[in-house]
C-alpha cells in the first residue's frame, strides 16, 4: 500500500513525549506554537504520516516531534471537551456489541462534546450516518466543532433535539445510542425509530440508571438485554520494573445493550414449564441449603 502523505487541512497527532501530545489541523502558511518551539505546517505538508519534524528556531529549540495519523482513540482523548466523554475502551465495546459499522444509520442522544459521535462517525463511513441530538446549545456547538475538526461532517449531523419529547422522522435505524441522565425515559419513544433486530445502547455512570433502563427495556419487550463494565489497565514496561501503572481510571460507566424484536405469542407451549420457587428474605435470596 502506498504511503499516506500529509495534505493541508489534515488532522495530525503531534507528539513531543508521553505527556505532551496535540491533535491539530495542518493549516497552510501557518504555524503551531509550543513551549518547545514552533512547528511550521508547511514543513509537514507533503511528508508521509509517521515522519518527524524539528521545532524552530533550530539553534535554540530543535526538539523532535512525531507526526502520526490520529486513531479514533486519539480523537476522543485530545478533543475539546466540557461534558463527561466516552472513553475509547467503552466506545470499542459499543462498536462490537452494537454492530455499528460501515453503512449503519444511528441515532445518538446526547452528543455532549461529540467524542462518541466522532468515533461512531469514523466507523459508519463510507455510506452510513450518525444523527446526533442534544438539548444544550453549548454541547451542540462543541460537538459540531469537534466533528468538523475530525473531518466527519459528511457522515454526522449535530442538531437540537430532545429525545424525550421530540418526534423525529427516523425509521428503521440500525442503532440508537443514549448517553444522557435519564435514558429509561426514552426507551418507549426510541423503539419506534429502530428496525427489528436493531440495537439499543445506553451508557450510564451509575447502577441506579442501569436498573431503571433495564426495567424499561423489559417492559418494552426488548430482548438480549445485557449490561457490562470495562476496566482498562495500562502497563508500564521497563527492564525489571514491568507492572500495571500505579494510577488508573477506576470507573467510567456501565453499558447496557438490547435488541428490538418482533415478538409473538407461542401457540405451541401455552403453559410455561413450572419454575423453581424463588424464596426471598428481606429482599435477599437464600442460599440453596437454607431453602
Helix, strand, or coil (residue 282)? coil
List alpha helices for 160-280, DSSP H. Answer: 187-191, 207-219
User: How far apart, in whole angstroms, are the C-alpha atoms of residue 77 and residue 93?
Assistant: 17
Q: CB of residue 101 vs ligand SAM: minimum separation in angstroms?
A: 19
The reply to whether 201 sits near ligand SAM by the rule CB under 6 A is: no
The reply to whether 135 sits near ligand SAM by the rule CB under 6 A is: yes
Based on CB atoms, which residue is closest to ligand SAM, 37 or 112? 112
Q: CB of residue 81 vs ligand SAM: minimum separation in angstroms?
A: 6
Among 110, 128, 183, 198, binds ligand SAM (CB under 6 A): 110
Which of 31, 78, 25, 87 minimizes the C-alpha distance to 57? Answer: 31
List alpha helices for the chain, DSSP H. Answer: 41-44, 72-78, 88-98, 115-124, 137-149, 187-191, 207-219
Which of 76, 96, 74, 93 minimizes the C-alpha distance to 84? Answer: 76
The reply to whether 121 sits near ligand SAM by the rule CB under 6 A is: no
Q: CB of residue 24 vs ligand SAM: minimum separation in angstroms?
A: 20
Helix, strand, or coil (residue 243)? strand
Helix, strand, or coil (residue 272)? coil
The reply to whether 83 sits near ligand SAM by the rule CB under 6 A is: yes
Based on CB atoms, which residue is closest to ligand SAM, 96 or 246? 96
The reply to whether 112 sits near ligand SAM by the rule CB under 6 A is: yes
Based on CB atoms, which residue is closest to ligand SAM, 85 or 173? 85
User: How far apart, in whole angstroms, are the C-alpha atoms of residue 54 and residue 282?
Assistant: 68
Assign residue 155 a region: left if phi > 0, alpha if psi is -120 to 50, beta otherwise?
Answer: alpha
The reply to whether 114 sits near ligand SAM by the rule CB under 6 A is: yes
Give the residue carrying C-alpha cell 472513553: 87
The reply to whether 133 sits near ligand SAM by the rule CB under 6 A is: yes
The reply to whether 163 sits near ligand SAM by the rule CB under 6 A is: yes
Among 55, 139, 175, 202, binds ligand SAM (CB under 6 A): 139
Among 181, 230, 263, 285, binds ligand SAM (CB under 6 A): 181
The reply to whether 253 sits near ligand SAM by the rule CB under 6 A is: no
Based on CB atoms, which residue is closest to ligand SAM, 87 or 222? 87
The reply to whether 116 sits near ligand SAM by the rule CB under 6 A is: yes
Number of residues that bind ligand SAM (CB under 6 A): 22
Whether omega for the bond prior to residue 205 falls within 30 degrees of 0, making it cis, is no
C-alpha torsion 145→150→154→160, nearest 10: -30
The reply to whether 82 sits near ligand SAM by the rule CB under 6 A is: no
Contact 80, 148 (CB under 8 A): no
User: Which residues, 85 to 104, sit near ligand SAM by CB under 6 A?
Assistant: 85-86
DSSP state letter for 85: P
Site residues for ligand SAM per CB under 6 A:
83-86, 109-110, 112-116, 133-136, 139, 162-164, 179-181
Amino acid at each position: 500500500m502506498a504511503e499516506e502523505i500529509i495534505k493541508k487541512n489534515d488532522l495530525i497527532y503531534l507528539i513531543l513525549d508521553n505527556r505532551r501530545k496535540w491533535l491539530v489541523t495542518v493549516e497552510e502558511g501557518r504555524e503551531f506554537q509550543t513551549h518547545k518551539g514552533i512547528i511550521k505546517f508547511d514543513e509537514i505538508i507533503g511528508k508521509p504520516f509517521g515522519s518527524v519534524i524539528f521545532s524552530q528556531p533550530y539553534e535554540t529549540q530543535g526538539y523532535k516531534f512525531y507526526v502520526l495519523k490520529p486513531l479514533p482513540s486519539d480523537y476522543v482523548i485530545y478533543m475539546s471537551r466540557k461534558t463527561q466523554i466516552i472513553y475509547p475502551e467503552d466506545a470499542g465495546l459499543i462498536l462490537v456489541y452494537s454492530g455499528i459499522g460501515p453503512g449503519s444509520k444511528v441515532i445518538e442522544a446526547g452528543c455532549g462534546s461529540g467524542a462518541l459521535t466522532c468515533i461512531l462517525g469514523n466507523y459508519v463511513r463510507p455510506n452510513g450516518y450518525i444523527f446526533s441530538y442534544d438539548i444544550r446549545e453549548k454541547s451542540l456547538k462543541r460537538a459540531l466543532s469537534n466533528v468538523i475538526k475530525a473531518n466527519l461532517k459528511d457522515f454526522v449531523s449535530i442538531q437540537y433535539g430532545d429525545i424525550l419529547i421530540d418526534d423525529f422522522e427516523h425509521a428503521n435505524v440500525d442503532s440508537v445510542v443514549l448517553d444522557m441522565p435519564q435514558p429509561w425515559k426514552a426507551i418507549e419513544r426510541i423503539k419506534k425509530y429502530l428496525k427489528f433486530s436493531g440495537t439499543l445502547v445506553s451508557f450510564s455512570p451509575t447502577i441506579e440508571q442501569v436498573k431503571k433502563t433495564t426495567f424499561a427495556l423489559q417492559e418494552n419487550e426488548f430482548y438480549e438485554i445485557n449490561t457490562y463494565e470495562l476496566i482498562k489497565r495500562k502497563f508500564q514496561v521497563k527492564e525489571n520494573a514491568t507492572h500495571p501503572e500505579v494510577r488508573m481510571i477506576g470507573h467510567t460507566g456501565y453499558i447496557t445493550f438490547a435488541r428490538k424484536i418482533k415478538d409473538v405469542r407461542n401457540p405451541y407451549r401455552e403453559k410455561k414449564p413450572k419454575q423453581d420457587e424463588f424464596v426471598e428474605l428481606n429482599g435477599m435470596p437464600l442460599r440453596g441449603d437454607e431453602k
